[in-house]
Amino acid sequence: MAKVEIIKHSAEKISGNLKQSAWMAVIESLATIVIGILLVVWPDVVIKVIAYVVGIFFIVKGAYQIINYFVVKGQTDFFNNGLLFGVISVLVGITALVIGEEIANIFRIIIGIWMIYESLVRINTAIKLHAANIQAWKYILILALIMLVLGMFVTFYSGAIITLIGWMMVLVGIVGIIGDVMFIQYVDTLITKITGSTK
């Protein structure tokens, strides 16, 4: 009986951590949408301010992911992306702060690479959901592939202007929110299948 309670407690903790990470991703997507809208409305002004905003945001986000990785390490392989995510985020943030206004010259590439990374993380999640036989995996995979295509377009199309990038960020943010909310809805089902426990 005690073993059952331990498994149940562990499942609830893992579920809570997954949901917390997913909600952080939703907040990140909302921030992406806001930044995208600002780029569409005030491209020239925003690009100068955005270097510092993006830098601080990525550093804080990265620090959180690195700390979170070591806190939950070993509980589930869903967190294996955390350390890589955190390190890349911190490096992007520091780069943005150092180059300042010159970020306009490489902003397109930075955002494009970030979109690609986010899509790969979601593709990884979809694969794990498929392995757990959760039907929502296909929808999350489709959303992730859309995000991947947009990221590749922004990264490799040199003619992409700031306004267009802004619209792309809005679209990516919306896609990200949809995928993350879908994932949150299936977290408990996923944990039940992994641990064999029920709430």
pLDDT tens digit string along 79-130? 456 777 788 888 888 887 877 666 666 777 878 888 888 889 889 888 888 8
Split into its structural domains, the chain has a count of 1
Is position 5 within any domain? Answer: no
Token code pair at residue 105:
């010259």
H-state helical runs in 73-136: 81-99, 103-131
How many CB atoms neighbour CB 196 within 10 A? 10
Is position 178 within any domain? Answer: yes
Is position 66 within any domain? Answer: yes
Token code pair at residue 39:
């780029």
- Nearest one of 109, 94, 107, 115 to 47, comparing CA atoms: 107
- Sequence letter at residue 171: L
Residue 3 has pLDDT above 80, yes or no: no
Domain that holds residue 31: 14-194
- Sequence letter at residue 152: M
Q: What is the pLDDT of residue 44?
A: 72
Is position 9 within any domain? Answer: no
| Contacts of 161 by beta carbon, 8 Å cutoff, 6+ apart | 43
- 144 versus 18: the higher-pLDDT residue is 144
Chain center to CA of 164: 21
Is position 96 within any domain? Answer: yes
Cα 131 to Cα 11: distance, rounded to the nearest angstrom = 18
Is position 8 within any domain? Answer: no
Chain center to CA of 64: 13
pLDDT in tens, 35-60: 889 888 887 777 777 778 778 888 98
Is position 7 within any domain? Answer: no
pTM for the model stands at 0.59
